[in-house]
Amino acid sequence: MARGMDLLLDALDNYEGRYILNSAAFERKIPLVHAAVSGFHGQLTTVIPGKTACLQCAMPHPPEGEDTAIIGVTAGIVGLLQALEAIKILLRKGEIAGNVLLVWDGLWCRLDQIPLSRDPDCMVCGTGDYR
């Protein structure tokens, strides 16, 4: 998985697949841009193996009771942010959304940032048993 790739984009609809993609990014040392949407809300973070928190650190457990309804405009906004992150990584321009979780709230038209940090015991990027 991910052989020959320069960048991974997470546009998956489940956390099991996202965690597999996150592990592949770390195994191959490939940047990963995670994005997810649910209803009027969305989130995005950029994972740079060895430099930023990984997806497993950011969300050690899948969200419970996840709303599966998706508002097209929310997917569009978060998808554009994800595309912008990908372009910045490939062109090596600007500042990426590393070690932050960008959270889009479409009901209030707000984009907030939640700081993230690596978990030293993370099974993917820390010293946990996985590595």
| Residue 39 forms part of a structural domain | yes
Q: Is residue 41 part of a domain?
A: yes
Residue 44: inside a domain, yes or no?
Answer: yes
Within a domain: residue 128? Answer: no
Is position 131 within any domain? no
Q: Please state the rounded mean pLDDT for residues 92-99.
A: 96
Range of the domain at 97: 8-115
**Residue range 78-100: mean pLDDT, rounded:** 97
Contacts of residue 2, Cβ cutoff 8 Å, sequence gap at least 6: 8, 21, 24, 25, 27, 28, 30
* 129 pLDDT higher than 90: no
pLDDT > 70 fraction of the chain, expressed in percent and rounded: 92
CATH number of the domain encompassing residue 20: 3.40.50.720
Q: Is residue 73 part of a domain?
A: yes
In a domain, 2, yes or no: no
Phi-psi region of 36 (alpha: psi -120 to 50; beta: other; left: phi over 0): beta
- Encode pLDDT of 85-95 as tens digits: 999 999 999 99
Closest CA relative to residue 37, chosen from 64, 12, 62: 12
Backbone angles phi, psi at 85, to 5 degrees: -60, -45
Full-prediction pTM beyond 0.95? no
- DSSP 3-state assignment of 30? coil
Query: What's the number of domains the chain is made of?
Result: 1
In a domain, 15, yes or no: yes
Structure confidence by residue, pLDDT tens digits, 13-60:
999 999 999 999 999 999 999 999 999 999 999 999 999 999 999 999
Per-residue confidence at 130, pLDDT binned at 50, 70, 90? very low
Name the average pLDDT for the chain: 92
Asked whether residue 126 carries a pLDDT value surpassing 70, the answer given is yes
What is the per-residue pLDDT for 78? 98
